[in-house]
Each structure stands twice: as C-alpha cells, then as structure tokens.
Amino acid sequence: MSTLFWVGIVLHVLLCLFLVLLVLIQNDKMGGLAGLGGMTTQSAFSTAGAATFIQKLTRIVAIFFFILVFALGFIASRQNNEGSVSDLRESATQTQASEVEVPELPSAVPVAPAPQATEPAAAPVAP
C-alpha cells in the first residue's frame, strides 16, 4: 500500500475520534458530556453562539470525514486493480518464460551413418 493510503488511514481515525467527541459535547437539551465536570450545560456553553459554532464544526468535520472515506475507497480500489494487473503480467511472463524453446543437446552416443547402397560385387571368375 502507498504512503498516501496509510496517512489517510491515520487521518481517518483521528477524524473519527474528533467527530465522536464533537457529537458528544453538543448541547442536546441539557444532555451530552458537557456536564461531566460537575457544571451544567448552561454554564459550560452559556451563549447560543457556542452551540452553533460546535454544530458548524461538526458539519465541517463530517464533510471532511466523508470526503476522506471516498478518497480512501478510491485509492484502495485502484491499488487492487493495479495489483491484479501486475499479477496477470507476472503470470503471463512466467507462461512465456516456460514456453521458450530450449535447444536440444546432442546425444552422447554417436549415431552410425546409414549404409549406402553399393553395387553387388562381381562373382569370382573361374580359371
């Protein structure tokens, strides 16, 4: 996998955690994690501007989250396609290498030449 993919994965995990934190902090009619420190949500976020800022920040982080998810999916699918293409190339190269003709070595036993047709010898002449 490429370095860009792993940087995207780390950024994705950080965005996930930050998005969860933003959702839990939001003022949901006196609920959420804003009251964990012993203070009420009214004292933690006393103005309405703070609540709208957190909502806007949540929207922005969610948009980046989805863009990153689609980008990681695209990178992963391209790497899978490139991997399958390189696998096909490698198997084709191996197939071509196995089909290369190897010259035959001469045999260790010499082959006798074929007998040539000769004329029959003349019959001996009587004295």
Pair of tokens at residue 46: 């006393």
Model pTM score? 0.48
The runs of H, that is alpha helices, within the chain are 3-25, 41-44, 48-98
* Residue extents of the structural domains in the chain: 10-93
Average pLDDT on 83-93 reads: 61
Three-state secondary structure call for residue 35? helix
Residue written as tokens 């863009």? 67
Give every CB contact of residue 8 below 8 A, 6+ residues apart in sequence. 68, 71, 72, 75
What's phi and psi for 23, nearest 5 deg? Answer: -70, -40
State pLDDT tens for residues 8-67: 999 999 999 999 998 888 866 655 555 555 555 555 555 555 557 888 888 899 999 999
Q: How far apart are alpha carbons 39 and 34 in whole angstroms?
A: 8
Average pLDDT on 97-102 reads: 63
